């Protein structure tokens, strides 16, 4: 008999600035592509990060994940790194990797993917959705099959 799988989501807030600018494009192309987000001085956002994990409910605790461990992981590996920073100055976003919210989500997923399974006594816990809200109107999700495909690619 298989154990029921449950999903648990937790939200975190952080602030960061960035400039959307692709070095491979001309200044004119960057202005056309990114508009006001190409401001040479950058601009900032108050981001919401939502992390959703899935796994069996622990029969002893009744929980899917050890919440203090999840909070500590996100704090240490994501919030301490990105909160109140200029994303363009992070080594990940040097070169051609533009610090768009989509690319930020890819980097956060890469960071969390390796450590999420260790947050419980079983190895069945996995990251199933990652959402970053840039503004009230703009958000980006990595979920389901997209994450599974990324996990397979990363393990090659």
Q: How many residues does the chain have?
A: 156
Q: Which residue, among 87, 121, 84, has the nearest Cα to 107 in the 3D structure? A: 87
Q: Parallel, antiparallel, or unpaired for β 85-86 and 126-133? A: unpaired
32 assigned to active site? no
Please identify which of the residues 7, 43, 84, 122 carries the catalytic annotation: 84
Please identify which of the residues 107, 109, 133, 134 carries the catalytic annotation: 134
134 assigned to active site? yes
Distances (CA, A) of 49 to 18, 56, 74, 137, 140: 16, 23, 10, 14, 10
CB 95 within 8 A of CB 23: yes
Q: Which residue, among 5, 153, 125, 14, has the nearest Cα to 65 in the 3D structure? A: 125
Task: List CB contacts of 10: < 8 A, sequence separation 6 or more.
Answer: 50, 51, 52, 67, 70, 71, 74
37 assigned to active site? yes
Q: Please identify every residue annotated as catalytic.
A: 37, 84, 134
């Amino acid at each position: 008999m298989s154990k029921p799988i449950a999903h648990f989501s937790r939200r975190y807030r952080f602030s960061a600035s960035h400039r959307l600018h692709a070095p491979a494009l001309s200044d004119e192309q960057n202005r056309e592509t990114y508009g006001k987000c190409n401001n040479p001085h950058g601009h900032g956002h108050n981001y919401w990060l939502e992390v959703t994990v899935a796994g069996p409910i622990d029969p002893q605790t009744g929980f899917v994940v050890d919440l203090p461990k999840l909070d500590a992981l996100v704090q240490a590996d994501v919030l301490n790194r990105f909160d109140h920073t200029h994303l363009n100055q992070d080594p990940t976003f040097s070169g051609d990797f533009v610090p768009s919210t989509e690319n930020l989500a890819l980097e956060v997923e890469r960071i969390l993917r390796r450590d999420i399974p260790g947050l419980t006594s079983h190895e069945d816990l996995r990251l199933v959705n990652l959402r970053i809200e840039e503004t009230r109107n703009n958000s980006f999700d990595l979920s389901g099959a997209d994450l599974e495909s990324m996990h397979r690619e990363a393990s090659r």
